[in-house]
């Protein structure tokens, strides 16, 4: 799972803009789990590289009213 230079064709995903944004994304994942969703893969920090990475994540058993569905994950607070 290469996480490298975004201009490199071999790169499969890149970092988030900041630790705060990474933590916000992780919060959405935790909220989904707390409300009954399941994490099929990923769902955590990816510490094998410098930067603010979250492992590629697939969430299942999501309900339409869950925060991860109804809210846009953005850099704004």
Cβ neighbours for 46, distance < 8 A, ≥ 6 positions apart: 1, 3, 53, 54, 55
Q: What pLDDT does 35 receive?
A: 96
Examine residue 49 and state whether it is found in any structural domain, yes or no.
yes
The alpha carbons of the chain give a radius of gyration, in whole angstroms, of 13
Q: Which domain holds residue 63?
A: 19-70
**Is the pLDDT at 11 greater than 90, yes or no?**
no
pLDDT in tens, 15-67: 888 999 999 999 999 999 999 999 999 999 987 777 888 998 999 999 999 99
Examine residue 37 and state whether it is found in any structural domain, yes or no.
yes
pTM of whole model > 0.85?
no
**How many domains does the structure of the chain reveal?**
1
């Amino acid at each position: 799972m290469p996480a490298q230079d975004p201009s490199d064709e071999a790169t499969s995903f890149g970092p988030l803009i900041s630790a705060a944004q990474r933590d916000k994304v992780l919060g959405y994942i935790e909220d989904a789990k707390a409300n009954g969703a399941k994490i099929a893969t990923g769902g955590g920090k990816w510490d094998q590289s410098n930067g603010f990475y979250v492992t590629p994540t697939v969430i299942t058993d999501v309900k339409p009213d869950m925060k991860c569905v109804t809210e846009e994950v953005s850099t704004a607070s």
